[in-house]
Chains A and B, each alone.
Chain A
Amino acid sequence: MKLAELQKKLTTAARLQKPDDRVPYVFEKRIMALIAERAAASGRVLWARGLWRAAVSCVVVAVVCGTVALFTPDARDGGNDLSQDFENTLLASVDQDDSTALP
């Protein structure tokens, strides 16, 4: 059998087939609805992405603050605690009375 001839004949048969260009009813509306849906979804995605970024930033700030607080030397160790000074000043007279009341 002549394969080349068969190939040629079948190719011609394919050429003779007119491409069917029918479009389903209101197809363009369907595409536009999908585009609108995707636009709305992408808006939500943008918001979600922004919020996640904000959350990550908050965690980073919290970690930095925690680290700073952890490694900063305690101010009370130096004896300059304001509340202690305040208490001493207020109770100075009481302390004095206590010391003079002793026999």
Chain B
Amino acid sequence: MDDRKRICAPLSNSDVASVRAGDLVLISGDVIGARDAAHRRLFELLEQGRPLPVDLRGQIIYYVGPTPARPGEVIGTAGPTTAGRMDPYTPALLAVGLKGMIGKGSRSQAVQEAMQAHKAVYFAAVGGIGALLRRCVEGVRAIAYEDLGPEAMRLITLKDFPAIVVNDCHGGDLYAEARKRFARR
């Protein structure tokens, strides 16, 4: 636990440059919770040249659609969702300053190239462990698109959220490297 790198949101370019694929990290600070439907809306606003409901510069987006919070609890089960579904929208968000993403699963070549061009990092948390990960959430506040229910955009305050760097801004790719290393053929 102690040798994990501490990451604090929002991120600067030097924060981004300091991590490498395979690094275990603990993420703290405010991140933006958003998934498919919210991404589609953000993308459409950018296409129309209209302002976004939130300034993405330096921010980390956590791809999450939690279960409803029970009375007296901050959030429900809240693990990462598959990042690849956000790939079609991601290069446009990186172009306006998004610096980090938390999800699970592989990113497209186009996203990986945009991450290198715009200096950004993609973290994965273990998928399917949202009961455990919800304990790393200290606060939640609605930001936009509340009509989307579980897909609404939220400001999520994390404390020591465990993740691993999958794609760094130097071209490193944990999934590809891990597969090469552990394949037995």
Q: Are A and B interaction partners?
A: no
Q: Which residues of B contact A (CB under 8 A)?
A: none
Q: Which residues of A contact B (CB under 8 A)?
A: none
